[in-house]
Structure 1
Amino acid sequence: MKFDFTFTGVGFYPYSGNGVADQADGSVTVPDLASQEIKFTEQDMKAANDKDGMNTVTKQSTDVIGGVTFPKAGVYQYTVKEADDTNTFAPDPNKKEEVTYDGNTYTLRIWVTMDKDGNNTASGTVDKVEKVVVTDKNANKVDPTPVTPTPDTPVDPDHPVVPTPEPNKTFNFKNIYTVTASDKPFNGNDPKTAPFWISKEVKGQMADNTLDFDYTLDIAANELTAGKDYELNIKRTNDDVDKVKVTPGTPATFKLKHGEIAYFEKIPAGAMVNVKEADTADYDEANEATFNGETPTTGTLEAAGALGTKGDNSVAYTNTQNGGNITPTGILLNNFPYIALILAGFAGLAFYIVKKRHQDA
């Protein structure tokens, strides 16, 4: 993958007393800054830092102002943007890839001083770039270098203090690459081909297959998922499909009966999910969870993990009716043939007694 960044000259602002002129000097040409391209290779991804299901890769461009000649002392202003169409992906039925580009625009100000002999601009030469100051769209200062900001220092006695970037505000463009959390194409007729699914099975001689079991599902709001909503599909026993909106960071609730299944058609690899079933009286809970195709783990009410692309992502719940305090009442259907025979016996006896009485009369 590659990412391109462009620098557009805005204007030159000369020093004025102990400050900088408010108006640009149009007579001074702002030098062009070359566009920068940053590429990420497959090897970069393999060497990436894997944390919480996400790979983080950081790269820097070459020196943007290296070799650039600035004609006069003063402040040169540019805007910096990222192109938003530098990557395309071939269609793949097994996965969906996409890149979210950073829409931020930064203002770059380059503070330039003359040589130490104080030569004027006509005969002097530019000594150095004294400071580089970058601000975001809200005019907040950000750090243009990968080092910790240093205290404000004067450029020289006749020039103003250059503001120091505030800590934790960096001149970064953040790009998020996502791929569907699945190793196979989704088949709408089989929810178990979905990137993530949750199934329900109920067992036991006295189990109620019509009973609703309550669930809570949470998708962690990380850089892959924040600001997006995901649709949880619930396939009912009559093949109807209900839908529940899941907002990362906000737990969503739903219900499942025996034989029903909940699933996402689209959710990215790296998403962190947490599923929890509410305790139900007279039922023993168990689940088998698989994430990224790894060896399944067993639990009871709760399961959590990071979705991956190397195999199934699923949680299969099984609830077994344990008898509890249920006491059989009424007529059990299993005994009905014997009860019928007894009733038939009583009926025959009554008929015999009535008939004999008639004969005796």
Structure 2
Amino acid sequence: MKNYFKGMIAFCVSGMMALALTAPVFADQTDAKAYITKEFDMPVGTKIPDAGTTFTFDMSAVKKDGGNYAKTISQKSITFTDTDTKRIIDVNGAGNDHKIYRYLKSTPLLSTEEVNQFKADGPGVYEFTINETLGNEEPKETEDQTNHLKTTTKMTYSRAEYKAIVYVKKDNTNNNYISDIKVTKEKDDQGNTVTNGDAKKVNPSKPDDNIPGSGGLRFVNTYLKEIQDTSTENPDPVTPKADNPTDPNEARDKIFSVGKIITGDLADQNQKFAFTVKVTAPALANVSSKQYSAKIVTADGTQDGETLTFTDGVAQTVSLNHGEKLVFTDLYVGTAFEAQETDRDTFYTSTTYARLNGGIPAQKSKERELVTGNVSEGTDTVVVVNTRNSNSPTGIFVNNLPYILIVLGVLAGFVGYIAAKRKSEER
């Protein structure tokens, strides 16, 4: 009897398990999602225009199961403003000229209405391509007549193309749902056909730092700015001050400059000090051996010597005396710079100052420190102050000797007078 009941129990359990395996699943199926991601890169220091920048994406005609499909997918758009979150990326860890601002945003590939339309039109395979709307890539020039600065901007659009395949199936309750959205990369950002199978596969999710390859349905755009000083007249004279070496109101500072101030009661303001200066265009500019103009401008606003030429990425030595500045007249925003005083005169104490992006002046070092950075859309200046003062007097200075002799003479005469008077009284 016991064996009989054991057999019945085993039979019932087996039957229940079989029913569980074959029973329909009544949970709602979640529609698969995909996102278009826009990556917007520019050299560090570059600002997005105040009005913002909008990118749009076009969808081709949709095919269902290889045939024509009457419905269309709307154009999508993504807008960036300067207040959006950005990251500073050191591309390949290659230095300041490879530092960029990177903006990332995503938008759904399909709107809620389009998802519902696919489901309403029944199971099948829907296919279409996605491209970015190309804008004007010609350099655009704007002139600031007040400050005599010309800005040239250049936008590079993505020529990438992606193919999306949307699968609509029926679930166990006979309702339609989007089971999957597969995306392949057909062309890269330069418009070249992608043939490698692994390179074609992308993950069309939102970007996520914790998921490698996420945000794969991505269009990459770059943005560059170049600033040129167009003034034809000398700047207003200035009085260099050791207590305000990076005066933000100085007319000579427009893009990037390197200056010298010599101060102290023993200082020789005609003495020249050597500086090593190097400028390197941002890697996004994709230039090599480009040349830049610079000039040495005195405190009274006149140019000292001929215009200098700097080659991209090549350090050059210049010599400056009191009140002079090396002033660059054309540079990309984001240009990496290096500046350092290289002369060592033990009679002088050196202090290096920097004011970057028109901000608050900062004392960089009490030495001849190497200052590095990136040219901004504000003014960037590096100034080294050399000070030579006399020590506290412990002896007689020659220039005071005549006065000392006069005082001593008066004292000697007075002492002589007293002595003579006493002798006459003793008699």
> TM-score scaled by structure 2?
0.51
- Contact 2:142–2:152 (CA<8 Å) still a contact in 1? no
- Contact 1:7–1:80 (CA<8 Å) still a contact in 2? yes
The 2-side partners of 1:2 and 1:97 are apart by 17
Q: Which structure carries more relative contact order (alpha carbon 8 Å, separation 6+)?
A: 2
- Contact 1:80–1:108 (CA<8 Å) still a contact in 2? yes
What amino acid does structure 2 have at the position aligned with 1:241? T
CA separation of 1:47/1:77 partners in 2, compared to 1, >3 Å: closer, same or farther? Answer: closer
Deviations along 1:41-79, whole A, 9 cap, x unmatched?
A: xxx534545759976554333544543355773362414
Matches within 5 A, 1:157-306: 166=213, 171-176=218-223, 178=225, 180=227, 189-190=234-235, 192-201=252-261, 209=270, 213-219=274-280, 221=282, 229=290, 231-235=292-296, 238-246=304-312, 250=313, 252-258=315-321, 260-267=324-331, 273-282=337-346, 284=348, 285-298=350-363, 299=365, 300-301=367-368, 302-305=370-373
Give the C-alpha shift of residue 233 in structure 1: 0.8
The 1-side partners of 2:221 and 2:271 are apart by 49
What amino acid does structure 1 have at the position aligned with 2:292? E
The 2-side partners of 1:289 and 1:101 are apart by 31
What amino acid does structure 2 have at the position aligned with 1:113? Y
The 2-side partners of 1:127 and 1:168 are apart by 23
More helix by share: 2
The 2-side partners of 1:149 and 1:50 are apart by 12
What amino acid does structure 1 have at the position aligned with 2:131? V
What amino acid does structure 2 have at the position aligned with 1:171? R
**Is 2:159 aligned against 1:105?**
yes
The 1-side partners of 2:150 and 2:124 are apart by 51
- Contact 2:165–2:182 (CA<8 Å) still a contact in 1? yes
CA separation of 1:149/1:244 partners in 2, compared to 1, >3 Å: closer, same or farther? Answer: closer
Deviations along 1:253-284, whole A, 9 cap, x unmatched?
A: 23223265322223455655432222435463
Match of 2:205 among 136, 145, 148: 145
What amino acid does structure 2 have at the position aligned with 1:45? D
CA separation of 1:110/1:54 partners in 2, compared to 1, >3 Å: closer, same or farther? Answer: closer
**Corresponding position of 1:115:** 169
What amino acid does structure 2 have at the position aligned with 1:3? T
Match of 1:314 among 368, 378, 381: 381
The 2-side partners of 1:48 and 1:210 are apart by 48
Unaligned residue ranges in structure 2 (runs of 5+): 1-51, 90-98, 236-250, 298-302, 391-427
Give the C-alpha shift of residue 244 in structure 1: 0.4
The 1-side partners of 2:376 and 2:228 are apart by 5
Give the C-alpha shift of residue 215 in structure 1: 0.4
Q: Percent identity?
A: 13
- Contact 1:181–1:309 (CA<8 Å) still a contact in 2? no
Give the C-alpha shift of residue 289 in structure 1: 1.8
CA separation of 1:62/1:113 partners in 2, compared to 1, >3 Å: closer, same or farther? Answer: closer
The 1-side partners of 2:166 and 2:150 are apart by 47
What is the aligned length?
284
SS at match of 1:233: strand
Larger radius of gyration: 2
Give the C-alpha shift of residue 197 in structure 1: 0.9
* Superposition RMSD in Å: 4.8
The 1-side partners of 2:339 and 2:203 are apart by 40
**Corresponding position of 1:5:** 56
SS at match of 2:221: coil
SS at match of 1:74: strand
SS at match of 1:192: coil
- Contact 1:283–1:319 (CA<8 Å) still a contact in 2? no
Give the C-alpha shift of residue 80 in structure 1: 0.7
The 1-side partners of 2:78 and 2:296 are apart by 45
- Contact 1:187–1:193 (CA<8 Å) still a contact in 2? no
**Corresponding position of 2:132:** 81
The 1-side partners of 2:334 and 2:325 are apart by 22
- Contact 1:134–1:171 (CA<8 Å) still a contact in 2? no
Give the C-alpha shift of residue 39 in structure 1: 3.0
The 1-side partners of 2:180 and 2:108 are apart by 19
**Corresponding position of 1:154:** none
SS at match of 1:67: helix
**Corresponding position of 1:45:** 82
SS at match of 2:206: coil
Give the C-alpha shift of residue 144 in structure 1: 2.6
**Corresponding position of 1:67:** 113
The 1-side partners of 2:203 and 2:255 are apart by 39
Deviations along 1:87-127, whole A, 9 cap, x unmatched?
A: 98975334655654343222222223343379xxxxx9974
